[in-house]
Amino acid sequence: MTVTAVVAAGMALLAIAPASAGTTLGASAAEKGRYFGTAVAANKLSDNTYVTILNREFNSVTAENEMKWNATEPQQGQFSHTNGDRIVNHGRQRGMLVRGHALLWHQQQPGWAQNMSGSALRSAAINHVTQVATHYRGKIHSWDVVNEAFADGTGGGRRDSNLQRTGNDWIEAAFRAARAADPGAKLCYNDYNTDGINAKSTGIYNMVRDFKARGVPIDCVGIQSHLTNTVPGDYQANIQRFADLGVDVQITELDITGSNQANVYASVVRSCLAVARCTGITVWGIRDSDSWRTGQNPLLFDNSGNKKAAYTSTLNALNSGGTPVPTTPGTNPTTPPPPSTPPPTSGPGGCTATMFLNSWTGGFVATVRVTAGASAITSWRVTITLPSGAAVTNAWSATNTGTTGTTQWANVSYNGTVAAGQTTEFGFQGTGTATGPSPTCTAS
C-alpha cells in the first residue's frame, strides 16, 4: 500500500500498522497512531507550492484565523463560514482530520462583542459557540472551545477579559454548549506558556481536574508550544500529568525559533510520542514565510518550500520510539451519554421526545431527541412547557411557536422523516432555568 493510499484509507488501519519508517510527517505520525497537522490559511489554498506540501505531508488541518469569532460572526447573529468551510472541505476531501480553532477567545473578537459585557455578552458568546459548533457538527475532530483564558505570571489565575467579567463559570458554560451542539467533537482547552510545569499550567491543570470531578465536558488540553530555542525539561512530565487526569493532550501550535531548532523539534516529538494520550501535533504554518512570527523562521520548510534540518529531525523522531495511542485516531469520539437521562415521555402519535439540559446560572441549552415508534414517521410535533422565568432565545433544527410557557416545536424540512425506532435531534437556547419539563411528541 502506498503512503497516499494508507492516508486515504483512513487512519483506522494505522494504529496497528507495522513499525516501518514513514516518509512524510503525516504517515509517520499515523504509524504511531497519531496525526501531524498544520495551521492553514484559506487564502493560500491557491498557492501551488503550499498546497503540494500540505497534501503530501500533513493529515490534520487547523484554520489559522477563519473560525475565530471575528471571522465567523462579523455582525451579531450573521454568520460567515465560507473560508472555514474551504479549509474543512480541503482537509476532509483528502482524509485529513480537522481541528476547530477557536470558539471563544479574548482576542480577534468582532467589534460588536468587544463592546458588550455582562449577561448580554454571556448570552451572545454561548450563542456563538452553539451556532458555530452546530455549523461544523460531525466534521471537527477537536474544538479549541476556549483559548488563552489564563493569565501569565505567578498567580495561576484567570486572565481579565470581557468574557471573564461575565462570571468565572463562562468556560464551563462554553464547554457545555459545545458538547450539546456537537457531541462527536473532542472539546479542548488551549493555551500558551503552558509547556512546562509552572503557575499557569498548574492553574489550568486544577481547572481540568475540577471539570472532570464535576462532570463538565472536557476531552483534551492543547499545549500551543510557541517555543524559543529551548523546551522546558519537564515538558513531557507536564503532558503526562494532564493525561493522567483523563484527557488527551494535543500539541496545537508548534513553532520553534533559534539555532537549536532541529534538536528542539525532535525533543518535542519524542515527548509527545512517549505519552500514550498525546494524540497529535500541529505546527503553526508550513513555510517560514507562512509564520505569524515574522522573520523568525520557526517552521519546518523554508520560504521556497524546501525541507529544513528541523523537518528531518522531526521526521526521524516520529519514526523512532513512542508509546502507542490506545484509541484509534481519525475517528471522532463516540457520542457521550447525555448528562442526565430522564425517562422518555410517550406521545399519542408514534414518537417519544426526551430533553437533555446543559444549564448555567441564568441560561441553558436544551437538546431534544425525537424517537420514532414502531413505524416510520414523516413529521413530528413536540410540546414543551417551560417553567416560569425561562424563555427561548434561539433554536436550531426545528421551528417554534411560543418562547415562554407552553412551547410547540415542529420539524424542519430535512428532519421530519425518521425511520422506526430511529432518532433525530433539535435544540434551543434560553435564559432563566428550564429544569423540569417532560416533552410530549405527536407524529404523522
Using CB under 6 A as the criterion, which residues of the chain lie in contact with ligand XIL when the complex forms? 64-65, 102, 147, 192, 224, 253, 292
State yes or no: is 73 an active-site residue. no
Q: How far is the CB of 410 from ligand XIL (least distance, A)?
A: 40
Task: Indicate the helix (H) or strand (E) that contains 176.
Answer: helix 170-181
Residue tagged 498525546 (cell numbers): 278
Let me know: does 13 contact 264? Beta carbons within 8 Å. no
Q: Which of 31, 73, 148, 172 is catalytic?
A: 148
- Return the ∠ at Cα 178 (arms to 247 and 79), rounded to 5°: 140
* DSSP, residue by residue, 261-275: HHHHHHHHHHHHHHS
Instruction: Give Rg (Cα) of the chain.
Output: 23
Which lies closer to ligand XIL via its Cβ, residue 41 or residue 318?
A: 41
Of 66, 44, 48, 52, residue with least CA distance to 24? 52
Q: How far is the CB of 314 from ligand XIL (least distance, A)?
A: 20
Q: How far is the CB of 192 from ligand XIL (least distance, A)?
A: 6
State yes or no: is 253 an active-site residue. yes
Q: How far is the CB of 178 from ligand XIL (least distance, A)?
A: 17
3-state DSSP of 86-131: HHHHHHHHCCCEEEEEEEEECCCCCHHHHCCCHHHHHHHHHHHHHH
Q: How far is the CB of 104 from ligand XIL (least distance, A)?
A: 12
Which residue's beta carbon is nearest to the bound ligand XIL? 292
Which lies closer to ligand XIL via its Cβ, residue 28 or residue 65?
A: 65
- Return the ∠ at Cα 306 (arms to 305 and 311), rounded to 5°: 110
SS3 content of the chain, % helix, strand, coil (to 5): 30, 25, 45
Which lies closer to ligand XIL via its Cβ, residue 105 or residue 426?
A: 105
Which lies closer to ligand XIL via its Cβ, residue 192 or residue 360?
A: 192
Of 48, 39, 40, 18, residue with least CA distance to 30? 18
Q: Which residues pair with 37 in a beta bridge?
A: 60, 282
Q: How far is the CB of 39 from ligand XIL (least distance, A)?
A: 6
Which lies closer to ligand XIL via its Cβ, residue 65 or residue 267?
A: 65
Q: What is the largest CA-CA distance in the chain?
A: 72
3-state DSSP of 281-314: EEECCCEHHHCCCCCCCCCCECCCCCECHHHHHH
Q: Up-side HSE of residue 111: CA atoms within 13 Å toward CB?
A: 1
Which lies closer to ligand XIL via its Cβ, residue 101 or residue 176?
A: 101
Catalogue the active-site residues.
Answer: 148, 253
